Amino acid sequence: MTDIVATNETILVVGGGISGMTAALEAAETGKNVVLVEKNPALGGRTSQLYRYFPKLCHPTCGLEINQRRLKNNPRIRVLTLAEVTGLEGGIGNYTASIKIKPRYVNENCTGCGDCERAVETEVPDPFNYNLGVHKAAYLPNAMAYPQRFVLDPAIIGTADADRAKAACKYGAIDLDMKEETIQVKAGAVIWATGWQPYDAAKIQPYGYGRFKNVITSVEFERLADIHGPTGGKILRPSDGKEAKNIAFIQCAGSRDENHLRHCSRICCMASLKQTHYVREKYPEDGKSTIYYIDIRAIDRFEDFYQKVQADASVSFIKSKVAKVTEDEHGNPVCHGVDTEGYKRYTTPHDLVVLAVGMEPSVKGINIPGHIVADSSGFIEADPSNGAVFGAGCATNALDVNRAVQSATAAALRAIQVVNKVAKAEA
């Protein structure tokens, strides 16, 4: 991307997930200059870690490819990765953001050839796979990574491994002297699209996440099904690598619960319904899914997807919030509870338990520079006192991808309305 000097007509987009990318692209394709800030080394955010989307079961990387092509062809967008906004001064039409940029230790000379990866020996947990697997300390964040540029893990800086990486690179792309820097960016409006994080499942004590290896979260399950995941797309359970064919999905793991998240996270029901497809896809003969739920929230046109899954004999639905999970002598997680439709008790062992963990806004707890109005769950609320800082996507509400993109598109217009005024004012 050509370096643009940010002016007040520039729109600053914080977060490079599907919402942030959408907001940035829609604004840029309407002729505005955009600075897109992402804290990870590559764009794509949480959707790029999903195996398939509901309800079409298509692949998120497909839309990501298009968005990346839009990005590559659009000089109006300046992308900053490994970058976080640490301060925001000023007001409507005239903000100055301080952006902290972590060193990548790899410069634009990188061709993505992978020689450094082959040279280093250290392996570190792979956050793209929720640390279910490891990758080399010199790595391409993922196969679809944009920018398509390698990263050195800070852990090896100052070690022989770093020197090995540097020696292996024929193109002078490795720069071990890179330092963390903080830059200032001026912008007329800011779009806050920092997305969500999965609720910490360890806090839901009765389900034993962290105590029992074969209790995992729904986001981790996505990685198990994905060909780029730690198991190469096989659904194997963590404890012993055994094929997990009889899988329990526990809904509202953290959501709709005053001890955890008070709100409903909206996507989890559809996500679990979708994940039953993974089970059938991988084990067409003897795959078995059980969904423990309070209400199935297959909202609006997603209903027919729910009906299809209901018609599937390999999937059973039990209206019950599981009381607790224990582990039997074979390491099988066992669900204990009561089917509330006519009081039927159950104590059912499964190969694997998947917790449909709730959505927690990433803004929650993080102190957004400047004052931003948030609701009781920590989602950004639209409010005049937010000035020209507009929330987008899951930073504003528990949304599915479709709604997040709508929200981001709307946010882009709100930002444009501000910078258009600025432009007029300056002209």
Partner 1 sequence: MAKHEYAFYPGCSSQKGASASNYLTSVESMCKTLDVKLTEIPDWNCCGASIGYAEAGELPRHVMNARNFALSEKHMPGQEIVATCAACWLGARETRERLTHSDTLMADTREALKEAGLTINEMPNIRHMVEVLIEDLGFDEMKKHVVRPLEGVKIAGYVGCQTNRPFGVDGESFENPQYLDKMVEMVGAEPIPEYEQKVTCCGGALAFSEPEKAQAQIKDIVESAYDHGAEMIVTPCPLCQANVEIYQGQINKTYGTKFNIPVMYYSQLMVVAYGGSAKDAALNGQVIKARRLEEIAAKPVKR
Partner 2 sequence: MADIKVAAYICKGCGLGERLDADALVKIAQKDGKVPMAKSHDFLCNADGVAMIKNDIANEGVTHIMIGACSRRAKTEAFFFPENAVARANLREGVIWIRPDTDEARETTQEMAEDYIRMGCAEVKAMTAPTGNTVTGSSKTLLVVGGGVTGMTTAIEASKTGYPVVLVEKTGALGGWAAKLYKRVPVHEPYKSPADTGVGELVSQVLGDSNIKVYLNATVAKTDGAPGRFIVDIATESGATHTEDIGAIVQASGFSLYDMNKLPELGGGKSANVVDQAGLEALAVAAAADDGVIRRPSDNQPVKSVVFVQCAGQRDPSGTHLAYCSGYCCNTSIKQAMYFKDANPSVDTTIIYTDLRTPGNGEDFYRSAQEKGVIFTKGKVAEVVPGGNTSTVKFHDLILDDQDAAMLDVDLVVLATGQVPNSGINIDAPAATEEEGAVEIKPISILNLTYRQGKDVPQLKQGFTDSHFICFPYETRRTGIYTAGPVRRPMDIAQAREDATGAALKSIQALENAELGRAAHPRSGDLSFPKVRLEGCTQCKRCTVECPFGAIDEDEKRFPVFNESRCRRCGTCMGACPVRVISFENYSVNTVGAQIKAVDIPDEFSEKPRILILACENDAYPALDMAGMGRNEYSAFVRIIPIRCLGSVNTIWITDALNAGYDGVMLMGCKSGDEYQCHFVKGSELGRVRMSKIDDTLKTLNLESERVRDLEVAITDIERVPEMINKYAAELVAVGPSPFKGF
Partner 3 sequence: MSANTALAEKYRNNFLKEIEEQVEMGDWVKMCMQCGVCSGSCPTNFQSAWEHPPQELFMMIRAGKREEVLTSSSMWNCTSCYNCIVRCPRKLPITHIMHGIAEYAHRIGLAPKMQATRFFSGLFWKNCTHTGRVNELKLSMGLYFKDGFASGIKEGMKMKDVAIGLVLAKRLNPFELFGGHKCKDQKGIQAMLKKAYEIERSRKAAKMAG
Site for partner 3 in 277-316 (CB under 8 A): 294
Report the SS3 class of residue 115: helix
> Rule CB under 8 A: is residue 197 a binding residue for partner 2?
no
Q: Which of 5, 259, 342, 345 binds partner 2 (CB under 8 A)?
A: 342
Distance CA 50, CA 186 (A): 34
Q: Which residues contact 287 (CB under 8 A, 6 or more apart)?
A: 245, 247, 279, 280, 314
> Rule CB under 8 A: is residue 349 a binding residue for partner 1?
no
Is there a cis peptide before residue 147, judged by omega within 30 degrees of 0?
A: yes
* Closer by beta carbon to partner 3, 262 or else 308: 262
Q: Which of 116, 315, 372, 398 binds partner 2 (CB under 8 A)?
A: 398
Distance CA 352, CA 134 (A): 22
Distance CA 220, CA 209 (A): 12
Which has the closest alpha carbon to 45: 24, 13, 23, 15?
Answer: 15
Task: Residue 326: name its binding partner from partner 3, partner 2, partner 1, none (Cβ under 5 to 8 Å by kind).
Answer: partner 1
Half-sphere exposure of 176 (CA within 13 A, CB side): 16
> Rule CB under 8 A: is residue 252 a binding residue for partner 3?
yes
Task: Residue 32: name its binding partner from partner 3, partner 1, partner 2, none (Cβ under 5 to 8 Å by kind).
Answer: none
Q: How far is CA 170 from CA 84, 112, 143, 411, in A?
A: 31, 12, 22, 44
Show the binding pattern over residues 270-309: x = contacts partner 1 (CB under 8 A), - = does not: ----------------------------------------
Show the binding pattern over residues 164-183: x = contacts partner 2 (CB under 8 A), - = does not: ------xx------------
**CA-angle at 235, arms to 234 and 237, nearest 5°:** 125
In the window 318-337, what residues touch partner 3 (CB under 8 A)? 319-324, 336-337
In the window 109-128, what residues touch partner 2 (CB under 8 A)? 109, 111-114
* Closer by beta carbon to partner 1, 207 or else 278: 207
Task: Residue 148: name its binding partner from partner 1, partner 3, partner 2, none (Cβ under 5 to 8 Å by kind).
Answer: partner 2
Distance CA 61, CA 64 (A): 5
Q: How far is CA 112 from CA 5, 125, 169, 216, 337, in A?
A: 28, 21, 10, 33, 51
Q: Which of 297, 315, 321, 369 binds partner 2 (CB under 8 A)?
A: 297
Distance CA 1, CA 79 (A): 8
Tokens 């409006």 appear where?
Answer: 189
User: In angstroms, what is the minimal distance from the CB of 314 to partner 3?
Assistant: 24
Show the binding pattern over residues 308-337: x = contacts partner 1 (CB under 8 A), - = does not: ----------------x-x-----------
* Closer by beta carbon to partner 1, 323 or else 382: 323
Report the SS3 class of residue 414: helix
Q: Which of 304, 312, 328, 426 binds partner 2 (CB under 8 A)?
A: 304
Q: Which of 204, 318, 405, 422 binds partner 2 (CB under 8 A)?
A: 405
Helices (H), 171-262: 218-225
Distance CA 89, CA 293 (A): 46
Cβ atoms 170, 60 nearer than 8 A: no
> Rule CB under 8 A: is residue 338 a binding residue for partner 3?
yes
User: In angstroms, what is the minimal distance from the CB of 303 to partner 3?
Assistant: 21
> Rule CB under 8 A: is residue 131 a binding residue for partner 1?
no
User: In angstroms, what is the minimal distance from the CB of 206 to partner 1?
Assistant: 5
Instruction: Give the interface segment with partner 1, choosing from 23-31, 74-82, 99-107, 205-213 (CB under 8 A).
Output: 205-213
And the tokens for 135? Answer: 């990758």
Q: Which of 206, 303, 316, 341 binds partner 1 (CB under 8 A)?
A: 206
* Closer by beta carbon to partner 3, 340 or else 417: 340
Binding interface with partner 3 (CB under 8 A)? 206, 252, 256-260, 294, 319-324, 336-340, 343, 345, 347
